[in-house]
């Protein structure tokens, strides 16, 4: 079977049906994300960032795969729930609510906002709804206002050792492309330039060619727990965002540089004893605060597959292809659950499931379907070009 068909089949005949069958809250709207191995709901709390992610997923499928009205109805359920229950009076998005929509956890960071904006943008494309389109732009600008203090009043740090995090510039580099239909061209270019400069400048360690998770405000290394922290999945995921920007702007140097960083991170973070990519690492090999550092997570491997397929599409580098085969073989041997559908999220270092749930507070209907779609489409282009070579 062609690689493109492996990913297409898994997306359309395994993963999406799992979420369609098990996650929909037909009584209150929105989605349940806490699903056990077989898809049974084991907790009914709703996490707004996962509501946004799932609404984005089904809107994207409607826009890019097939104009299936069932998919649009599922997306609408999430959009309506977020609009009705997901925001406070200032337009900040809660982290979690009850199944009926009563607030549980305050808007302590802006990642719920980011995924709500992504969902609004895709849904507006699907429906032509100008109100939703306006809400996407409004949410995006609210995010930018909080860019320097994303946690606002919920920030715990005192400011004695100021560090800036990689997650926000990383997510903005993807969010701005998602909202290109919503934003003014000048806004798009400004955010692209900011993100590329931050990701490929301040957070890229020049000597090792690896992305660091936290740096000082002026982009320097800080020798502390956080300053030494590496999150290989984050760094690799950001590189496929950089490749997308490079393809959009015809910047081959950016694509080449992002490809090399992917290879650098994989060389550094691959577990040579058991296989797979470590969740966290310390830049100096010191003990980590994160006790889950040696776990193997679904999203890390999926984002690596997306990054490698995009890198190979644009470079045809044989080293990239070898790494793709290595990551593909590990991921497909350990994460999918053929008996019950979808993918496990959390493996121990040896590659055995630590938690048999298919969703929860952090895992929802997003990384698996998005990655399967991205790999499907990249391999379609690769296979098409090989046919005519």
Condensed to tens digits (0 to 9), the pLDDT of residues 264-301 reads: 999 999 999 999 999 999 999 999 999 999 999 999 99
Pick the closest to residue 155 from 107, 101, 121 (CA basis).
107
Q: What confidence tens digit (pLDDT) does each residue in 303-315 have?
A: 999 999 999 999 9
DSSP state of 92: P
* Residue pLDDT, tens place only, 207-222: 999 999 999 999 999 9
- The Cα–Cα gap between 281 and 303 comes to 17
User: E strands within the chain?
Assistant: 34-35, 41-43, 46-47, 96-97, 103-105, 164-165, 204-205, 210-211, 214-215, 229-230, 281-282, 296-297, 346-347, 353-355
Q: Is the pLDDT of residue 350 over 70?
A: yes
Task: Could you please state the CATH topology (level 3) that the domain comprising 1-28+203-389 is classified under.
Answer: Glycosyltransferase (1.50.10)
Can you spell out the DSSP letters for 24-48? B-TTTSSB--EE-TTS-EEE--EEH
pLDDT of residue 388: 57
Q: What are phi and psi of 15, to 5 degrees?
A: -70, -50
pLDDT of residue 387 exceeding 80, the answer is: no
Structure confidence at residue 178 as a pLDDT band (50, 70, 90): very high
Q: Is the pLDDT of residue 357 over 70?
A: yes
Q: How confident is the model at residue 203, as a pLDDT?
A: 98
Task: Tell me: pLDDT of 389 over 60.
Answer: no
Distance CA 288, CA 280 (A): 8
Give the global pTM: 0.97
Tokens standing for residue 61? 């499928």
Mean pLDDT of the chain: 96
pLDDT digits (tens, 9 = 90+) for 337-346: 999 999 999 9
CA proximity to 163, closest of 117, 229, 82, 85: 229
Three-class SS state of 306:
helix
For residue 31, the cross-strand partners are: 24
Element (H, E) at 321: helix 318-334
| Burial category of 388 from C-beta neighbours within 10 Å (exposed 0-12, middle 13-18, buried 19 and up) | exposed
Distance CA 24, CA 78 (A): 9
Q: DSSP letters of 172-187?
A: HHHHHHHTTTTS-HHH
pLDDT given at position 28: 98
């Amino acid at each position: 079977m062609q690689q493109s068909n492996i990913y297409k089949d898994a997306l359309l005949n395994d993963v999406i049906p799992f979420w369609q069958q098990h996650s929909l809250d037909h009584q209150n709207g929105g989605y349940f994300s806490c699903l056990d191995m077989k898809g049974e709901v084991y907790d009914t709390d709703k996490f707004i960032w996962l509501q946004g992610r799932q609404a984005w997923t089904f809107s994207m499928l409607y826009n890019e795969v097939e104009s299936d009205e069932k998919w649009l109805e599922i997306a609408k359920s999430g959009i309506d729930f977020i609009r009705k229950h997901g925001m406070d009076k200032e337009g900040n998005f809660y982290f979690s609510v009850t199944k009926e929509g009563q607030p549980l956890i305050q808007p302590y960071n802006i990642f719920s906002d980011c995924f709500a904006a992504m969902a609004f943008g895709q849904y507006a494309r699907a429906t032509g709804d100008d109100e939703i389109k306006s809400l996407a732009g409004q949410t995006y600008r609210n995010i930018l206002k909080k860019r320097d203090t994303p946690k606002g009043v919920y920030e715990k740090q005192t400011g004695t050792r100021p560090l800036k995090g990689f997650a926000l510039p990383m997510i903005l580099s993807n969010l701005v492309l998602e909202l290109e239909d919503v934003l003014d061209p000048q806004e798009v270019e400004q955010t692209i330039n900011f993100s590329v400069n931050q990701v490929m400048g301040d957070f890229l360690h020049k000597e090792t060619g690896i992305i660091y998770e936290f740096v000082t405000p002026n982009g320097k290394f800080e020798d502390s727990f956080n300053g030494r922290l590496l999150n290989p999945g984050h760094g690799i995921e950001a590189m496929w965002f950089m490749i997308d920007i490079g393809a959009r702007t015809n910047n081959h140097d950016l694509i080449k540089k992002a490809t090399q960083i992917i290879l650098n991170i994989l060389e550094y973070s691959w577990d040579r004893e058991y296989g797979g990519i470590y969740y966290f690492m310390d830049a100096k090999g010191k003990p980590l605060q994160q006790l889950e550092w040696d776990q193997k997570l679904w999203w890390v491997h999926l984002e690596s597959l997306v990054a490698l397929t995009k890198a190979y599409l644009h470079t045809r580098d044989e080293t990239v292809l070898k790494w793709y085969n290595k990551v593909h073989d590990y991921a497909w041997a350990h994460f999918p659950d053929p008996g019950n559908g979808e993918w496990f999220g959390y493996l121990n270092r040896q590659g055995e499931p630590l938690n048999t749930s298919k969703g929860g507070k952090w895992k929802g209907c997003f990384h698996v379907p998005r990655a399967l779609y991205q790999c499907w489409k990249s391999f379609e282009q690769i296979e098409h070009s090989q046919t005519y070579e």
